[in-house]
Chain A
Amino acid sequence: MSSKTLTYREALNRALVKEMEADPDVFVFGLDVPDHKRIYGSTKGLVEQFGARRVFGTPLSEEAMTGVALGAALSGLRPIHVHIRADFMLLGMNQIANMASNLRYMSGGRLRLPLVIRAMIGRGWGQSAQHSKSMHSIFAHFPGLKVVLPTTPQDAYSLMRSSIRDDNPVIFLEHRWLYDIAGEVDEECVIPLGPPGVLRAGDAATVVATSWMNVEAVKAAEVLAKKRGIELEVIDVRTVSPFQEDVIAASVEKTKHCIVVDHDWVFCGFGAEVAARISHRCFGSLKRPVERLGYAPTPCPTTRPLETLFYPSAVEIIRVVERMLDLGQTDLSDESFYSYEQRFKGPF
């Protein structure tokens, strides 16, 4: 067994090192990739081990640098382009939506685009409206792109390796609160892009979550198990595109209830896609309509009390489950809910 305990950041770093060792065509670039902070430590040691040819910083030119990644990928290399915040990808959106997603199709399958675009989702300590977007539903909207949001260290490690090896453009979105989370990582474990992961088995209701919302969903499940003796099934979507609904549909057939907790806005969001598909697939089994939770329909506020309200939480998940299952409100006054921000010291 090659399993060991790694944090999410170490798992990402390990995956990059492994792939760069295995394939000389893999290189990592982006603003701040080789600086002293090294993208939350995820690119630590890379420039020392692989040199400035394979690990380098860039001008502040998101569109051009995305195009450079594409041109390099078309030339047979495997670029990994990094953005310290997902919001900055909007400056490269022309290349992502008009080129990366289209070129294979427009060439009748003659072009191959093996590239990964990594970006961080910000949250906490005043990240505000322009440092907090996720946008996975927007990326997933364009056929030709793959979109990945790992939650566990194992998924961060295995899905990063799969993304680098994939011959299509992959958008890889990392939540900064996940960086310090530690877990067992089996370095031999291969996880393909597509199937979701079941984080917790249960029969009372199915909670489908993305990114950090899985942490909230697992917490909600633990509290409900302890206080009410009911078990939620928590499914981490992991790959938004290609989306594989079978595991979720099978779970809903068992639990008859489905809640989607998305790390994004609700309106026109990924949760709507899941709700529509599950309603279609499991129409006869559902005892209640599919419920959706996500960001409040506002830009992300800076101040702590409003920001806390902006994001869905374990408490909200518990309340929705109670309503769906016709349970009264559980007394949560003695519960301490995980708040990463109490540990997190800003500002970056």
Chain B
Amino acid sequence: MIQCEGGVKLKKQEALGLFRKLLLGRLVEERIRKEYPSDQIKTAAHLGIGGEAIPVGVGHCLPKGTKAFGTYRNHVLYLSMSDDVDGFFAEMYGRLTAPAKGKAGSMHMCSPEHGLMATSAVVGTPIPLAAGAALASVYRQSRELAVVFFGDGAVEEGVFWETLNFASLRQLPMVFVCEDNGLAIHTPTSERQGFRSIPEAVAGFNCHVASGDGSDLQGVIALTREMLKRMAEEPKPGFLHLTYLRFLEHVGPGEDFHIGYRRRPTPEEAERLDPVRRFEKELLQDGYSEPELEAIRIEVARQIDRSVAQAQQAPLPPASELYTDVVTG
């Protein structure tokens, strides 16, 4: 198991850029929560509030040219890879101006031009695609990485183990990122998994394994950098296991602690498990000023306002769009 010694040293622009990405993910999703009741966003949105540090932190460390794959809980991954807020909201509103002209919606966002190749609503399904991308990079004798983000529920599916086996057998340059929130829809790990822990179960394979706190952006970055360093020294796939708290319900804009299938975090826990608050506090402690952060907040909020307004005014796709993009040629 890879242990991480010491933290990270972030340069100023880097730190503020990361804060912007975390905040963009958070504020975009808060905006979706606000807009949802108007019933204009008609797509099953699985919000990732609480989990932002994982795609932002891991993504920050991945070299250019990395091909990424993800799941239906992909908003922050999409935004952090593409920075395409206009396209994102156009897709949420199902508009013609969206990257997939509204055919993707929340669950199938992709941005191949920025390396986010595909995302899937069927748990576990994108995992082997990353292995295929890694295989293609070996085939072409390039060093490009592939990465796949998936939840802890995906580990219960055969295709996860099939892919882990193949990737470990062929020593493919790919990183498995397990975003573990301890829940699959509304069912806790204790009722789903017959092994002691995910990293322990994976440790029997010929790959590098690391586990850490996914709510801690700097910790995620340190762990990912250490993982990539090990992968460069000893070429094997990497498996990153990162835990986090899903603050909202499985799908939709609400909180659902009152249902009773899981416990509401204490205020101290909520503070610690909120990656945006946590990083903000660290920045302030490190000497960044409140006005610096406030300027970023204002810029991000304005961007979101513009993108939402644009999306709301954009045309819906014409009927002829139904039949395009099924096959090519």
Residue ranges of A at the interface with B (Cβ–Cβ < 8 Å): 27, 53-54, 58-59, 61, 63-77, 79, 94-95, 98-99, 103-112, 143-144, 146, 166-168, 242
B contact residues, total (Cβ < 8 Å): 44
Task: Contact check, A53 vs B163: say whether CB atoms are below 8 A apart.
Answer: no
Q: How far is the CA of A110 from the CA of B328 in the complex (A)?
A: 10
B93 → A minimal CB distance (Å): 14
Given contacts A77-B139, A107-B110, A144-B327, contact A68 B166 (CB under 8 A): yes
Task: Contact check, B328 vs A167: say whether CB atoms are below 8 A apart.
Answer: yes
Task: Contact check, A98 vs B328: say whether CB atoms are below 8 A apart.
Answer: no
Report B-chain residues with C-beta under 8 Å of the C-beta of A71.
Answer: 67, 69, 117, 128-136, 146
Task: Tell me the number of A-to-B contacts counted with CB atoms below 8 Å.
Answer: 153
Task: Contact check, B132 vs A73: say whether CB atoms are below 8 A apart.
Answer: yes
A180 → B minimal CB distance (Å): 34
Task: Contact check, B166 vs A166: say whether CB atoms are below 8 A apart.
Answer: no
B182-232 with Cβ < 8 A to chain A: none
A107 → B minimal CB distance (Å): 5
B156-184 with Cβ < 8 A to chain A: 158-159, 162-163, 165-166, 169
Instruction: Closest B residue to A115 by CB, please name it.
Output: B132
Task: Contact check, B132 vs A69: say whether CB atoms are below 8 A apart.
Answer: yes
Given contacts A94-B159, A98-B120, contact A110 B128 (CB under 8 A): no
Task: Contact check, B100 vs A108: say whether CB atoms are below 8 A apart.
Answer: yes
Task: Contact check, B135 vs A59: say whether CB atoms are below 8 A apart.
Answer: no
Q: How far is the CA of A123 from the CA of B135 in the complex (A)?
A: 35
B101 interface residue per 8 A CB criterion? yes
B293 interface residue per 8 A CB criterion? no
Task: Contact check, A67 vs B128: say whether CB atoms are below 8 A apart.
Answer: yes
Q: Select A74's contact among B113, B129, B165, B169, beta carbons within 8 Å.
A: B129
Q: Which of A68, A71, A104, A105 has the most CB of B within 10 A?
A: A71
Q: How far is the CA of A63 from the CA of B132 in the complex (A)?
A: 12
Q: Which of A77, A108, A167 has the most CB of B within 10 A?
A: A108
Task: Contact check, B122 vs A107: say whether CB atoms are below 8 A apart.
Answer: no
Task: Contact check, B132 vs A74: say whether CB atoms are below 8 A apart.
Answer: yes
Task: Contact check, A64 vs B328: say whether CB atoms are below 8 A apart.
Answer: no
9 contacts between A and B (CB under 8 A): A65-B166, A66-B128, A68-B135, A71-B129, A74-B112, A99-B126, A108-B101, A108-B103, A168-B329
Task: Contact check, A27 vs B139: say whether CB atoms are below 8 A apart.
Answer: yes
B276 interface residue per 8 A CB criterion? no
Report A-chain residues with C-beta under 8 Å of the C-beta of B130.
Answer: 71
B324 interface residue per 8 A CB criterion? yes
B45 → A minimal CB distance (Å): 16
The 7 nearest A-B residue pairs measured at CB: A71-B132, A67-B128, A108-B100, A64-B162, A75-B136, A61-B162, A109-B325
Task: Contact check, A104 vs B110: say whether CB atoms are below 8 A apart.
Answer: no
Task: Contact check, A146 vs B327: say whether CB atoms are below 8 A apart.
Answer: yes
Task: Contact check, A94 vs B165: say whether CB atoms are below 8 A apart.
Answer: no
Q: Select B325's contact among A67, A68, A104, beta carbons within 8 Å.
A: A104
Instruction: Closest A residue to B328 by CB, please name it.
Output: A167
B301 → A minimal CB distance (Å): 28
Q: How far is the CA of A277 from the CA of B328 in the complex (A)?
A: 25
B154 interface residue per 8 A CB criterion? no
Report B-chain residues with C-beta under 8 Å of the C-beta of A99.
Answer: 118, 120, 125-126, 129
Task: Contact check, A104 vs B159: say whether CB atoms are below 8 A apart.
Answer: no
Taking A75-B117, A107-B104 as given, write out 9 further A-B residue pairs in contact, using a Cβ cutoff of 8 Å, ordered by the A residue number. Answer: A59-B162, A65-B166, A71-B67, A71-B131, A94-B125, A99-B120, A106-B118, A107-B112, A108-B99
A164 → B minimal CB distance (Å): 13
Task: Contact check, B132 vs A72: say whether CB atoms are below 8 A apart.
Answer: yes
Task: Contact check, A111 vs B162: say whether CB atoms are below 8 A apart.
Answer: no
Task: Contact check, B133 vs A64: say whether CB atoms are below 8 A apart.
Answer: no
Q: Select B139's contact among A64, A72, A109, A112, beta carbons within 8 Å.
A: A72
Instruction: Closest A residue to B137 by CB, please name it.
Output: A75
Given contacts A70-B132, A71-B146, contact A106 B166 (CB under 8 A): no
Q: Select B329's contact among A58, A110, A167, beta carbons within 8 Å.
A: A167
A147 → B minimal CB distance (Å): 12
Q: How far is the CA of A239 from the CA of B314 in the complex (A)?
A: 40
Task: Contact check, B125 vs A74: say whether CB atoms are below 8 A apart.
Answer: no
Q: Select B118's contact among A74, A112, A144, A168, beta carbons within 8 Å.
A: A74
Report A-chain residues with C-beta under 8 Å of the C-beta of B125.
Answer: 67, 94-95, 98-99
Task: Contact check, A59 vs B328: say whether CB atoms are below 8 A apart.
Answer: no
Instruction: Closest B residue to A62 by CB, please name it.
Output: B162
Q: How far is the CA of A72 from the CA of B99 in the complex (A)?
A: 22
Q: How far is the CA of A77 from the CA of B67 in the complex (A)?
A: 14
Report A-chain residues with C-beta under 8 Å of the C-beta of B300.
Answer: none
Instruction: Closest A residue to B317 by CB, please name it.
Output: A108
Task: Contact check, A110 vs B163: say whether CB atoms are below 8 A apart.
Answer: no
Q: Which of A68, A111, A146 has the most CB of B within 10 A?
A: A68
Task: Contact check, B166 vs A107: say whether CB atoms are below 8 A apart.
Answer: no
Beta-carbon contacts of B78-111 to A below 8 Å, as 1s and 0s? 0000000000000000000011110110001010
A233 → B minimal CB distance (Å): 30
B207 → A minimal CB distance (Å): 15
Task: Contact check, A75 vs B110: say whether CB atoms are below 8 A apart.
Answer: no
Report B-chain residues with C-beta under 8 Å of the C-beta of A74.
Answer: 67, 112, 117-118, 129, 132-133
Q: Select A104's contact among B134, B135, B162, B327, beta carbons within 8 Å.
A: B327
B326 interface residue per 8 A CB criterion? yes
A289 → B minimal CB distance (Å): 31
B77 interface residue per 8 A CB criterion? no
A162 → B minimal CB distance (Å): 11
A301 → B minimal CB distance (Å): 30
Q: How far is the CA of A94 from the CA of B126 in the complex (A)?
A: 11
Report A-chain residues with C-beta under 8 Å of the C-beta of B67.
Answer: 71, 74-75
